Chains A and B, each alone.
Chain A
Amino acid sequence: MATEPITGAEIIVKALIDQGVEVIFGYPGGAVLPLYDALFKQNKVRHILVRHEQAAVHAAEGYARSTGKVGVVLVTSGPGATNAVTGLTDALMDSIPIVCLTGQVPTHLIGNDAFQEADTTGITRPCTKHNYLVKSVEDLSRKVHEAFYVARSGRPGPVLLDLPKDVQQAKYEYVNHAGQRHRTYNPVQKPDRAQVEKVVELMAGAKRPIFYVGGGAVNSGPLACKMLTDFIRLTGFPCTQTLMGLGAFPASDPLSLGMVGMHGMYEANHAMHDCDVMINIGARFDDRVTGRLNAFSPGSKKIHVDIDPSSINKSVRVDLPVVGDVGHVVEEMMRIWKARQVKTDQKALAAWWDQINKWRARDCLKYKASDTIIKPQFALERLYAAVKDKDFYITTEVGQHQMWAAQFLKFDKPNRWMTSGGLGTMGYGLPAAYGVQVAHPESLVIDVAGEASIMMNIQEMATLVQYRLPVKIFIMNNKWMGMVRQWQELLHGGRYSESYSDALPDFVKLAEAFGANGLRASKVSELDDVIKEMIAIKGPVMVDVAVDEKENCFPMIPSGAPHNEMLLGPEDQAAKPVSEEGMVLV
């Protein structure tokens, strides 16, 4: 369906429209002026002007994670592209589908150290799933469509298109390549049936089973999560989720043990340690989850469902790998389970649940309540109470507040929880939040932030104000890089080297200076009212909550320790010093 020749920039915009793109997060510059001109001349694709290119990528991540669509970024050459690198790396680690368009100097200048030239494809090769330098306008329509295909297929990730300015201006005809089969990249979606039969057999005989559900289930989509939920309920097995998997299985379901891992639940970690059959659904045995590898669930047979063969046997050797998409695999599991009319070992399962309930009874999230000082856990409990019946989305920054948010906010649906898990990027939460808000204008979107993290992309307040995006920023202000301070306490004799957040701005005035609303809660008695007001205000709000400066995040598996040696609180921490091997781990 070739058409009249149009400019490269117009080809790109046409391709974006054919890919169903509704919004781009970007920042202009010399090398993308033709693209910005093409955007100006149309009204199908909306552009959100960010204030820093890193934020453009995080915003696109928030958009993508909350919708299941590909997020799109547009930045200029040189500094525009290098500023995007952190965002791209973040998206790569967390398997978020992004297409990032970068301008480049004209082809004849490449390699000349031209103005604002950077070797963008070279720099981003290790932090993208794939990237292209498009040197000829003839290749343009195919490569743009291919970029979307690669970003969303298999294990999703960021794909970058580097676009020299002359290619944006050259003319050629546009061809819609959407839906074409790729020459080399065709990841397996449907599992090998025989393998799934074996999985069901192993599960059927389990005495102490556990589902370990990760971000891959969220990647697979809400329908896949629904099927997975139905299947888990059918088996009656307990289910724990990773930080990235929160919401894939309803937190309120009695079968849910909550989060696993370093700051996960006591019952979840003990169950992972003692189980006899582990069913990993789209999780990647991250070191935050496994703890010390040679002590990780030593007695279990492990099933691993993952769309990416390179995730399998990477750090933990598994007994039954299944390569495929979570949705497809679970469908097959369910079919076989029903066809075989599986009867599980009820007696063993009852004993297993008894044990789990004993662990649960330790109530690992309990903390010392206070009426004089706002405990961070309490702040989040109150926040949750205020939002739980609403249509809400949560993003976070990185630190203690992130872990408390994971522990105290409950997600019954996928795509509602956006956090930087793999890279742990401070500054993620605010741009991600407005990425979510752009996609869900009517919903309540809250960035649970730390006072240090929020400073990393604070300039994005201007973006909120410009587009009237009513994002709520809930700063848990402990005046410390709390997570750093906690580790210094645990590992470095309480020598708090450079972890105090000195010279903090007045966040209320700061919000007002940007033209947003600022609120403050300093006393326990003010908290509920402030939360209520925050939600009631129609526009963007920044809330400064003065929380306990000294509180640490528990439970915790200290580095180098196995799952069944969790620290439950400060007393425990004093009693169990960290091993020397643990000291070198991060």
Chain B
Amino acid sequence: MSDLKRRNLGIVSGVPAAIGGAGQIGESTSVKDITIERHTMSVLVDNESGVLARVIGLFSGRGYNIESLTVAEVDAAQHLSRITVVTTGTPMIIEQIKNQLQRLVPVHSVTDLTVEGPSLEREMALVKVASTGDKRVEALRIADIFRARVVDATIESFVFEMTGSTEKLNAFIGLMQPLGLSDVSRTGIVAMKRGSGTE
């Protein structure tokens, strides 16, 4: 879970260097097997107690990475939740993750959005900036450029709400750093296939 924590501080971006614990890497392993890829998976599950623990336990127990994980009910009538998980690993590990998720009993479907055609990824962040004077003005100006909304204001602080790609959020948060950035809360990534098709 340390990955999740780092993520929420908005410091981590891109690809971690470490190779996930599972799988022995031998000398003769092809380059393809040691390339670390980043994949976004959408997992439709029965919304029953323990299902999130099952998914998270699978990742921690087998040494897979979680870069981001979000979960919420998406169909109240059918008690279905969608878990969106961003993970990294070698192609073999990514395949394992998919198959391991698929065999959990309450899992309906696993879609690897990274391989199944174009998809959308969005994340939301609340960003608190505490500063006065020029810094405060500059923060507001940049927020405007990024189309972040002010959702709370005091004399010495703003809370901005921003939605967009992870990269855009990272850029914004980076710019706020010298301007009095004091707190960040991020949702993690939600994702969906483009076009009319469903998962």
Bound: A129/B99 CA distance, A: 14
B46 touches A183 (CB 8 A): yes
Q: Say whether A130 contacts B95, CB under 8 Å.
A: no
A295 and B28 alpha carbons, distance in the complex (Å): 8
User: Across the two chains, which residue of chain A brings its CB closest to B54?
Assistant: A125
Q: Does B122 contact A (CB under 8 A)?
A: no
Contact between chains at A312 and B99 (CB < 8 Å):
yes
Q: Please name the residue on chain A nearest to B26 by beta carbon.
A: A294
| Contacting pair B46 A309 (CB below 8 A) | no
Contact digits for A110-153, partner B, Cβ 8 Å, 1 yes 0 no: 00000000000110011001100100000000000000001000
Contact call A308/B26, Cβ cutoff below 8 A:
no
The residue from A121, A155, A294, A317 contacting B27, defined by CB atoms under 8 A apart: A294
- Measured as residues with beta carbon below 8 angstroms from the partner, the interface class of chain B is 20 to 34
The distance from the CB of B144 to the nearest CB of chain A, in whole angstroms, is 47
Give the interface SS of chain A, mostly helix, strand, loop or mixed. loop
**Pick from B23, B57, B61, B108: contact of A184, CB under 8 Å:** B108
Q: Are B105 and A292 in contact (CB under 8 A)?
A: no
- Bound complex: CA of A150 vs CA of B99, how far in Å? 17
Chain B residues near A121 (CB, 8 Å)? 50
Could you tell me if A185 and B92 are in contact, using CB atoms closer than 8 angstroms?
no
A298 contacts the other chain (Cβ, under 8 Å)? yes
Across the interface, B53 reaches (CB within 8 A) one of A125, A187, A310, A312, namely: A125
Task: A310 to B103: give the CA distance in the assembly, Å.
Answer: 8
Could you tell me the distance between the alpha carbons of A126 and B59 in the complex, rounded to whole angstroms? Answer: 11
Chain A residues contacting B61 (CB-CB under 8 Å) are 126
Min distance, Cβ B21 to any Cβ of chain A, angstroms: 13
Report Cα–Cα, A313/B29, bound state, in Å: 13
B residues 45-104 touching A (CB-CB < 8 Å):
46, 49-50, 53-54, 57, 61, 92, 95-96, 99-100, 102-104
Interface residues of A in 291-333 (CB under 8 A from B): 292-295, 298, 308-310, 312-315, 317
Say yes or no: A317 contacts B99, CB within 8 Å: no
Chain A contributes a number of interface residues (CB within 8 A of B) equal to: 27
B124, CB-defined interface residue at 8 Å: no
Please give me the residue from chain A that is nearest to B106 by CB atom.
A184
What residue in chain A is nearest B48 (Cβ atoms)? Answer: A132
Residues in chain B near residue A133, CB distance under 8 A? 49-50
| A314 contacts B105, C-beta separation under 8 Å | no
B108 neighbours in A (Cβ, 8 Å): 183-184
Q: Which residues 309-363 in A have Cβ within 8 Å of B in the complex?
A: 309-310, 312-315, 317
Query: Is A154 a contact partner of B26 (Cβ separation < 8 A)?
Result: no
Is residue B24 contacting chain A, with contact meaning CB distance below 8 A? yes
Q: Is B107 an interface residue (CB 8 A)?
A: yes
- Choice from B46, B54, B103 contacting A154 with Cβ under 8 Å: B103
Q: A121-B50, A125-B53, A184-B105 are in contact. Are A313 and B24 (CB under 8 A)?
A: no
Which residue of B has the minimal Cβ distance to A154?
A: B103
A294 lies within 8 A of B29 (CB): yes
What is the chain B residue whose CB lies nearest that of A290? Answer: B24
B-contacting residues, A181-202, CB 8 Å: 183-185, 187
Whether A293 contacts B24 by the Cβ 8 Å rule is: yes
A369 to B139, CA, bound (A): 87
Which A residues touch B49, using CB under 8 A? 133
CB–CB B106/A313 < 8 A: no
A293 and B26 in contact (CB under 8 A), knowing A121-B50, A312-B99?
yes
Question: Which among A130, A133, A155, A312 has the greatest number of chain B C-beta atoms within 10 A?
Answer: A130
Is the CB–CB distance between B95 and A150 below 8 Å?
A: no
- Are A314's CB and B96's CB within 8 A? yes
Q: In the complex, what residues of B have CB within 8 A of residue A317's CB?
A: 33, 92
A130 to B105, Cβ gap below 8 A? Answer: yes
Measured between beta carbons, the chain A residues less than 8 angstroms from B23 are 314-315
Contact of B28 among A150, A294, A315 (CB under 8 A): A294
Docked pose: A308 CA to B57 CA in angstroms = 19
Q: Which residues of A contact B33 (CB under 8 A)?
A: 317
B residues near A308, Cβ cutoff 8 Å: 99, 103
Interface mask (B9-49 → A, CB under 8 Å = 1, otherwise 0):
00000000000000110111100010000000000001001
Cβ of B101 to closest chain A Cβ, rounded Å = 9
Q: Does B103 contact A298, Cβ atoms closer than 8 Å?
A: no
| A125 contacts B50, C-beta separation under 8 Å | yes
Q: Which residues of A contact B57 (CB under 8 A)?
A: 125-126
Please measure, in the bound complex, the distance between the C-alpha atom of A121 and the C-alpha atom of B107, giving whole angstroms.
18
21 contacts between A and B (CB under 8 A): A125-B50, A126-B57, A129-B105, A130-B104, A150-B105, A154-B103, A183-B46, A184-B105, A184-B108, A187-B103, A293-B24, A294-B26, A294-B28, A295-B26, A309-B103, A310-B96, A310-B99, A310-B103, A314-B96, A315-B23, A315-B24
Using a CB–CB cutoff of 8 Å, the interface residues on chain A facing chain B are: 121-122, 125-126, 129-130, 133, 150, 154-155, 183-185, 187, 292-295, 298, 308-310, 312-315, 317
Instruction: Report, nearest first, the 8 A-B pairs whose CB atoms are least far apart.
Output: A294-B26, A310-B99, A130-B105, A294-B28, A309-B99, A185-B105, A293-B26, A310-B100
Task: Contacts A308-B99, A314-B92, A315-B23 known; list 5 others, CB within 8 Å.
Answer: A155-B103, A184-B46, A185-B105, A294-B29, A310-B103
